[in-house]
Structure 1
Amino acid sequence: MKLNKVHHIAIITRNYEASKEFYTEILGLEILQEVYRKERDSFKLDLALNGQYIVELFSFPNPPERPSRPEAAGLRHLAFETPEIQETYSFLISKNLQPEDIRIDEFTGKKFFFIADPDDLPIEFYEA
């Protein structure tokens, strides 16, 4: 078996408009396509980073809750690499988000921190 790369990550939102704004206006992901699937009462938003398709954002009526802390079983978090960790941190504060303190990875010596998206999904920013 040969795998080339991660194709995309799918996220189901509780508040589609808030999540759409977060991923496009704050994180700056590009909208590739947005469709409404009437039979499922669901929006599907395809998003890209630097031209690479990476995230599918979905809305569904009344999705069940899921534990979201980084140490919960299942998907731990979504991580983005950034060459400017302090600038990224300051930008997110300016958008009224509350990032955790910047920490140092004990194995790589790189800086990183977490925020939560509108559904409390942990989002990590990791120093390039």
Structure 2
Amino acid sequence: MLKGTHHIAIICSDYPRSKHFYTEVLGLSVLAENFREARDSYKLDLELPDGTQIELFSFPSSPPRPSFPEAQGLRHLAFVVDDIDQAVSKLVSHGVAVEPIRIDEYTGKRYTFFQDPDGLPLELCEEVTL
């Protein structure tokens, strides 16, 4: 039935700041950018190399996401990387705070967490191919 993930939708509080973060810091490609006047909202369609898309919305006066303590619902968004050390170095060079790299006790894979400009928890998972 399900074949994969098509897109993830994110609502941001500061559109220019989040657009910079997702395109310049994370390096996602812009597919389309539209201002929807009736909603006073931007919709930015972004794409990862595997074809998965992120829809970045900017709705005025949207409430902040409850993250601490963790609320029910989507916990975080995880991105696969080939080299976690290189990815962390790039994030840090852009001033992004990144948690220490950990090893998953069940899979043995390395991972870490960081946040987008609105505090949305994001994860990097290292995919090691043998």
Q: How many residues align?
A: 127
Are the counterparts in 2 of residues 15 and 59 from structure 1 also a CA contact under 8 Å? yes
Judging changes above 3 Å, is the alpha-carbon distance between structure 1 residues 50 and 70 closer, same or farther for their aligned structure 2 residues? farther
1:74 aligns with: 73
Are the counterparts in 1 of residues 8 and 54 from structure 2 also a CA contact under 8 Å? yes
Which deviates more, 46-55 or 56-65? 46-55
- Structure 2: runs of 5+ lacking an equivalent: none
TM-score with structure 1 setting the length? 0.94
TM-score with structure 2 setting the length? 0.93
Are the counterparts in 1 of residues 5 and 52 from structure 2 also a CA contact under 8 Å? no
How far does the alpha carbon of each residue in 1:64-102 deviate from its partner, in whole angstroms, 9 at most, with x for none? Answer: 122124832111101000110111111111111110110
1:37 aligns with: 36
How far does the alpha carbon of each residue in 1:21-64 deviate from its partner, in whole angstroms, 9 at most, with x for none? Answer: 00000000000000000000000000001161410000011101
- The answer to whether structure 1 residue 104 and structure 2 residue 125 are counterparts is no
RMSD (CA atoms): 1.3
Which deviates more, 45-54 or 91-100? 45-54
Judging changes above 3 Å, is the alpha-carbon distance between structure 1 residues 105 and 93 closer, same or farther for their aligned structure 2 residues? same
Structure 1: which amino acid aligns with 2:57? F
SS at the partner of 1:52? coil
Are the counterparts in 2 of residues 12 and 59 from structure 1 also a CA contact under 8 Å? yes
SS at the partner of 1:67? coil
SS at the partner of 1:17? helix
Moved over 3 A (4+): none
Judging changes above 3 Å, is the alpha-carbon distance between structure 1 residues 30 and 83 closer, same or farther for their aligned structure 2 residues? same
Which deviates more, 45-54 or 105-114? 45-54
Judging changes above 3 Å, is the alpha-carbon distance between structure 1 residues 10 and 64 closer, same or farther for their aligned structure 2 residues? same
Judging changes above 3 Å, is the alpha-carbon distance between structure 1 residues 44 and 12 closer, same or farther for their aligned structure 2 residues? same
Structure 2: which amino acid aligns with 1:114? F
